[in-house]
Chains A and B, each alone.
Chain A
Amino acid sequence: MSRQTQTQRREFLKRLGATVAGGTAAAWMPQLNLMAQSMRATCPNPPNYRAIVCVYLAGGNDAWNMVIPTDATRYQSYLNSRGGVYDAATNPAGVGVGSAALLPITPSNGGSYGLHPSCGDFTVGTPAITVPGLRTLFNQNRIAVLPNVGTLIRPITKTEYNSNPALRPPQLFSHNDQEKLWNLGKTQLNERYGWGGLLADRINQCNGRADVPACISVAGTSLFQVGQEVFPYGLSTSATGAVGLSAYTNASPTSSDALRRNVLSNLLTANNTNLLQREYGAVTKRSIDLFTDFSTALQAPANQVALARPANNSLADQLWTVARTIRARTMLQQNRQVFYVRLGGFDTHDAQMGANGQPLLITRINQALGWFYAALQEMGMESNVVTFTMSEFARTLNSNGNGTDHAWGSLQLVMGGNNVGGGKIYGSFPEASLNGPISFSRGQFIPDLSVDQIGAQLGLWMGLENSDLAAIFPNYANFSATALSGLAV
């Protein structure tokens, strides 16, 4: 089927509605059946706003240093497997963090843990305002910790892993493949639709404007947001969010800008045979068409965030665009949105523990997420948004001399207001060990929770039916449907 705008597609489907119901159209266009079903979702009436924000940490985050068990036994296990506390002079090969520096947290479901020292409160702006960091937010029940999440076809024991390679997800330890599986929520690498996009397909009808994409990325095109109908739309961290074509944006129909815009639109929508030309035209056309609405919305005084942003923090800058877009939800007539932001630099094979390594990375996560939560509170939307981290894998518990290598099950964070069951640890926090019951020789962990389970909880919160889950997460039936109950409510 040729590509059409979403509006045209909706009209097309409406007209075909009777035929689809009668079953005849499905015979000669079988995908119609799927699409008719894909449009089904519950939109609350009166509408309320909900959004999920995917924070992708690119490179494989060494999250075992973000949340650390502090009871004597498990902390010692942690130190043993990490080669002791890093010290540039006396223990340069160690990758552990000293317990004195950790910030204690008290999960409501028990256990003694500390966050990395970079997870504290911080200040922004002049005069300085203190912003709660991850540690404070956790103790206020705003952060949920998911300690051992990863890609899985089904739960797998170490014995099964060793004896039956077919049970393993494909291409473990490969950056791009594991990132793809996290994006897909499935374990077939040749699948084309990410779970964020498939979710957006089903809840997009809750939005008032079909031409404003439900999936918005401030970090380029990610498979995560590619659905069968909804594709990611790109914004930048600039004041306008959308980037306008200079000399093409004056809205006045008699302006030279309008003339250029009209001529260019003709070129962009020309009936080229070549699909690459057509698609380039479509992307550029979308950029032009939506510029005015997005730039107006993101520059409107009512949609600005008063709280100053942390400096030198690309993640915070991206979340600033997300925050303004959420503030502009009424202007853009959006009720259900899927956002994607990204921070790189986590592939810490080298120089992990120096000041410019992991401590800086975690500082950026801490300040960006802390700032974003405060920005949501400013607009009273902190309980309408779920923010969650993803990363392709964790890293080896033990060191390669000054860093770590690729692993598997990792720790992720989920943040929200009353809509997130924060202040607790979900699932089992594995005891650090090399070649332990669920770990391999370098402390790579077999996950206890799967990507599917996070995706399902967030999808249900966004308005999916239980019956939608299997289509988006084909392996979902292999996992506990209740392990993450209460995560998003």
Chain B
Amino acid sequence: MRRLLQGTLAFAIATFAICASAQTYDRIFGYGAEAPDVPPNDTEAARFLTQATFGPTRSGIDRVRALGYNAWLDEQIGGTVPTLALPHVEVLTDSQFSGNNSTNDINQNRRMDRWFHTAVYAPDQLRQRVAYALSQILVVSDRPDNLNQDADGISNYNDILVTQAFGNYRLLLERITYTPQMGKYLSTLRNRSAYQSGNPANTILPDENYAREIMQLFSFGLIKRNNDFSPALLAGQVQPTYNQDVIVQLARVFTGLTYTGATTFFNGTPQPQQPASYQPMICMDRIPPQLTQDVHDRAAKTIFDAQVLPARPFSAADNGAACRADVTAVLDLIANHPTVGPFISRQLIQRLVKSNPSGAYVQRVAQVFNNNGASVRGDLAAVVRAILLDPEARASVVRAAGSGKVKEPLLKLTAFWRAFDVVAPASRNEPICTLVNPTTCTGSPVVVPYIPMGIASPERNYVQRPLGAISVFNFYEPDFQQPGQVANASLFSPEFQILNEVTTATMANDLRTRAFSFVGMTNPPFDRPLIELAPLVALATTPTNPDALIEATNQRLLNGLMSAEMRTALRGFMTHAAITGMTPVNRVAELLHMVALSPEFAVQL
């Protein structure tokens, strides 16, 4: 009876919602009648935005309260233009490139500026947040030598994740497979079928890098799992998804890929600023123009679960058909593996909502991955909706031992900035040469603006670097368990893998700088954003009564969840003579920093 009434109420809300639709009705019923569509208060709205954006803002809270979760998601998924990095970055990269290689200074700094600006200001917050989560699963990084000057290419990779964030997993897998940045990162670029080389002659076999990581990290992982992420046992035993033989066979598939401009397979290496550097790789079966030497392995291959890719003929009329057919077939098989749903869903939940989702939660989301309701598999928009609307995500805050997640270090910074309406600096100008000739730089300099965000090397203080992880295993692993009380409780805590006595301090110190970088400061820097503290300063007029100020900080940084214990400690802090004697804005900054260091800010519940 109660369920029926709640369902009726939910239906009523859905009917009267601004963007009501039959799908909304289905969604509410589908994910449990307990989850309301409209946030009941600011705290719940802020919690939702903590999961779905780079940090809650006043206007964001107002928007989601006005629209309700479903309509807010509709607006983010279907009604907001994606913010891209490449168009912005490549103009700047062009300006940095000159025909004389020794003076090239192409670095990733402008990409970093763009990434942080997008994270803080872009309206398509959910899309960007999901793209960032995907970048931690389908990892490519600008750290290796062959990618650290490839700002255009890494930006293009970023944009692939952005444009496919609400697209389809299978298509996403295809796009990243063909991007030359993945080709360089996991060494499929110019990978060849077996050939003889050396003196004495040796059989050179295909590189196994991508074959391994596309299975271990990008799709289904090491063992077969049920939809609830539990291991799928056979006679009580864990079942590996593949073995070394499969790796060797799969490596033969990813052979024959080369740059789009190649005419002989080995040539065509583009300059970093040329579009060919990021255009999809092409397949070749044999080396042109003679077409007598194989570079793609066209023989039959047996991969995981004893699935066989047939032998394929060579056709001079379409020198690449076999390679494309093999790659297509393998990506189909990988994307259709039953373990992909839980493997990917669980990680997306860990990136957005909580480190220890229940098996039931993972299962509900994995089922949506498997079938979005319209018989489509791998619908990422549906998966993201399922994650955010699930009762386990929307249940009012639970202060249980294992709830929530440690916030990623960079998301603490973006949340801090957004909470205080950080003001971007004025744009600066990068001189650009009009490229008359692709290898020289002539013509009158034209200025190209960019907005500096003053954080070119975020990894220094935050360990994380967007699309810049130390290895293909990302900044941290999904199964990391912080030693001690967390591991003893059998909890997973990925983000703790990069939190230790050093990094908590370097982050804390950077956040202090941010707290004291505010509009109206003496000698303000012009190369970084400044937080706007005026509304809080207005609450700090009475040093001996900090309650309004503390409450405002609670709302902005802690989603209104500050504990009584913490409030008491902060009141004692703010009313101490050392603090009351400071100017109002400095008092505010001191408080912000203290809260930013607190466990209650460090963990999202």
Contacts and interface: CB of A to CB of B under 8 A. Distances in A.
B599 A277 contact: yes
A299 B581 CA distance: 34
B200 A400 contact: no
Interface stretch (A283-291, A465-473, A476-484): A283-291
A20 interface: no
Interface in A274-330: 274-284, 286-287, 290-291
B10 to A, nearest CB: 30
A283 B563 contact: no
B163 interface: no
A243 B399 CA distance: 31
Contacts of A217: 500
Contact of A280 (B186, B403, B603): B603
Contact of B602 (A81, A175, A234, A277): A277
Contact of A267 (B203, B403, B499, B594): B594
A62 interface: no
Nearest to A290: B501
A281 B501 contact: no
Interface in B292-343: none
Contact of B197 (A83, A245, A266, A268): A83
Interface string B184-199: 1011001110000111
A61 to B, nearest CB: 15
A264 interface: yes
Interface in B550-575: 563, 565-566, 569-570, 572-573
B31 interface: no
A279 B486 contact: yes
A58 B469 CA distance: 14
Contacts of B204: 83, 93, 398-401
Interface residues of B, number: 83
A242 B501 contact: yes
B485 A278 contact: yes
B578 A231 contact: no
B486 A276 contact: yes
A260 B591 CA distance: 10
A403 B496 CA distance: 34
Contacts of A176: 473, 477
Contacts of A235: 501-502
A81 B202 contact: yes
Interface string A110-137: 0000000000000000000000000000
B114 interface: no
A284 B200 contact: no
Nearest to B513: A246
Given A173-B212, A344-B471, A405 B207 contact: yes
Contacts of A174: 212, 216, 222
Contacts of A73: none
A270 B565 contact: yes
Contact of B502 (A83, A287, A350): A287
Nearest to A269: B599
Given A344-B470, A399-B202, A221 B497 contact: yes
Interface string A345-364: 00101110000100000000
A147 B243 CA distance: 26
Contacts of B482: 221, 279
B355 interface: yes
Contact of A79 (B200, B570, B573): B200
A247 interface: yes
B96 interface: no
Interface string A234-268: 11100000111111000000001001100110111
Interface in B591-605: 594, 597-600, 602-603, 605
A59 to B, nearest CB: 8
A83 B597 contact: no
A283 B497 CA distance: 12
B176 interface: no
A32 B532 CA distance: 55
Contacts of B216: 174
A159 interface: no
A3 B404 contact: no
Contact of B500 (A221, A347, A349): A221
A140 interface: no
B277 interface: no
B512 A283 contact: no
Contacts of A400: 187, 191, 204-208
A276 B199 contact: no
A83 to B, nearest CB: 4
B484 interface: yes
A84 interface: yes
A234 B493 contact: no
Scoring B493, B499, B579 by chain A CB atoms within 10 A of each residue's CB, the highest score goes to: B499
Contacts of A426: none
B202 A83 contact: yes
Interface residues on A, range: 35 or more
B197 A94 contact: yes
B265 to A, nearest CB: 12
B203 A2 contact: no
Contact of B484 (A3, A84, A171): A3
A176 B579 CA distance: 48
Contact of A263 (B199, B471, B485, B573): B573
Contacts of B573: 259-260, 263
Contacts of B569: 263, 266-267, 270
Contacts of B470: 344
Contacts of A278: 485, 599
B491 interface: yes
Interface stretch (B85-93, B365-373, B503-511): B503-511
B202 to A, nearest CB: 4
B52 to A, nearest CB: 20
B580 to A, nearest CB: 11
B244 A267 contact: no
A275 B492 CA distance: 11
Contact of B208 (A192, A242, A405): A405
A275 B496 contact: no
Interface in B136-191: 145-146, 184, 186-187, 190-191
A38 interface: no
A431 interface: no
B512 A247 contact: yes
B570 to A, nearest CB: 7
A220 interface: yes
B570 A263 contact: yes
B401 interface: yes
B18 interface: no
Interface string A187-225: 000001000010000000000000000000100110000
Contacts of A284: 501, 504-505, 508, 597, 599
Residue of B206, B405, B597, B600 with highest tally of chain A CB at under 10 A = B597
Interface string A19-45: 000000000000000000000000000
B238 to A, nearest CB: 9
A424 interface: no
Return the 3 tightest CB-CB contacts between A and B, nearest first.
A234-B500, A83-B198, A83-B202
29 contacts: A79-B200, A83-B204, A84-B198, A94-B197, A171-B222, A172-B244, A220-B502, A221-B497, A234-B501, A242-B501, A243-B509, A260-B594, A263-B569, A263-B572, A263-B573, A267-B566, A267-B569, A270-B563, A273-B399, A274-B603, A276-B405, A277-B600, A280-B496, A280-B504, A282-B484, A284-B504, A398-B205, A400-B191, A406-B208
Given A277-B603, A278-B485, 15 more contacts: A3-B488, A79-B200, A173-B244, A175-B471, A232-B483, A235-B501, A263-B569, A263-B573, A271-B565, A273-B399, A276-B603, A280-B504, A284-B505, A347-B209, A406-B208
Interface of A: 1-3, 58-59, 79-84, 91, 93-94, 171-177, 192, 197, 217, 220-221, 226, 231-236, 242-247, 256, 259-260, 263-264, 266-268, 270-284, 286-287, 290-291, 344, 347, 349-351, 356, 398-401, 403, 405-406, 442
